[in-house]
Structure 1
């Protein structure tokens, strides 16, 4: 005899939505947002109030600058929080430009017009109402709205992502470009200082020393003039040779500063002249119908001069070629040799310094030099018409 006893089904716990790690991070970001924005808002409010109130005194404007620097710190902390909890890829904005040797007023003006600090202050001002709303929605969803929490957290944090990108990220690369130009300007300044020191050293050790010795020799010759005219005549003859050497050194130095042939006749004849000083035969091909601006022309000349020096010293080449032409708004200069190759712009080489100097004027240096050769170095410079620049200078 069988018994049909039905058993009650086993009761299971109510289903719960499993929340991923990203959802918990987003919820944490939203809940932390309220105290963070509240503290930052109070800081910005008190800073602006105190800065404006004291702006009639000597400490008001410096206080505003220091407050902007504090906003930068708050912005950096908020970006790091967004990276860690929202997995937001965001770059740091450029640092506040620093002008070496600038005084207090330059620092003050640079700080007052800092766009990063002002945008960060705006972020915490406009972000407080949103932080209050997002905090309340997240808290209520954690208590009663579990099934909708992942979608709500994602939607709320997408607004935060947009705010962070819009106000705390570098603005369309402009600030980063400003920082690059600041570095380029520093590089150009360092190069100019090094050139001035080289010129001073060459004058001191070369022509100046030779002229001092010449003056002493002429003084001795004057004393010998009555006692031993023949010896005095020999000393004057030697002094004449020293004068020729001193003049040649001064000409070489002047040519290193800015050659006269470049000013008078242009890039083609000037490059032909330096080509004759290269230790290997050089073919020069310049296809320019007009002359570029004087500054660009000078940079192209010294770039070619340094590249030919590298050919002479390092390439073991039998022949080299210089080609110059214009493409749209760019001046192109290319030096090719059939040497051993292996040239590169790393490790503090001369080519690295040349690339930095070209970058300072929005130029480029491209090097193709496989082992065994041939080597092709292409310099690209912005084209500026000489007539337009001269007309603007008037």
Structure 2
């Protein structure tokens, strides 16, 4: 016991100089030694201006800069919904009705959900492995099939540790009906995702898997119960964890608690980065400002300026897609400064493939970590530009 106490007392004095010396070694030795040093004394324990007990807008820049300094040693945690995707089709246009269609292709099953697509893309394109935290059902064929498929996702750190099960509840299921005119209709059953909520084990899992420094990406927000205690849960996270929100389709109707929770954490600065499409941002603005504000009369840049001025959005906002501007398909805001991102080669951002939008989100998160250290504004701009290029040139 005495030896343990002495070692714990010496760590703050011995480990930081050792970490500095390790960075000067050749790559062959630097990586393993840094991993060992970080295990003994996680870098989030270092006091570099971010108060571990407080979060807010003032800490966003420090969190972004610290992520770049850590590089690949920063961890990523994906918190959100996963589904068993069932693909049906092709269905002739206009032929859905009270009769049988007997010439569809065999049904296709796959594990889906934005958190899953981001995790796959992070590993496949950038070599970044992440931790998935979600909830599936238990005791029905759909949940069994989804659990089996999640075990095959090799990109996860410690697979299944973050996958919780709800007994007697069916997992989330998405039915994708593909029509012959190429559009897709989606029917979704949230199922066990309604039981995905903040709890002490979830908070501790985020803390342990990020080791106090990294990125927490919250997705599929409106299909879950993560709005319950959202502000309190984020406030308990270590001050060096960058919190990103990519909620997916904004469903305001019937989800007043979700909208209110988003507004609260955005206003308080508890979320650092907000990733959304322009239609999603427009719907959010109408939900928090009211239709009388006539936000649809504003240009995308003016709308983002208004929301930033009123502190109704986080310190960093990335609007990708839905802008109807092929040469500037992405807007981003850092503080009160709103900038369009130019694209040399115009392209369409409308893509019906499942997980298409997640390509941009994954690239953005990866480039927040990977790259040369710099100021927060430079880090965000580089990440947005790199994500846009990856979105444009992504493989199918």
Task: Please indicate the TM-score interval, normalised by the length of the shorter structure.
Answer: under 0.3
Q: TM-score, normalised by structure 1?
A: 0.22
Which structure is higher in strand share?
Answer: 2
Q: TM-score, normalised by structure 2?
A: 0.22
Larger radius of gyration: 1
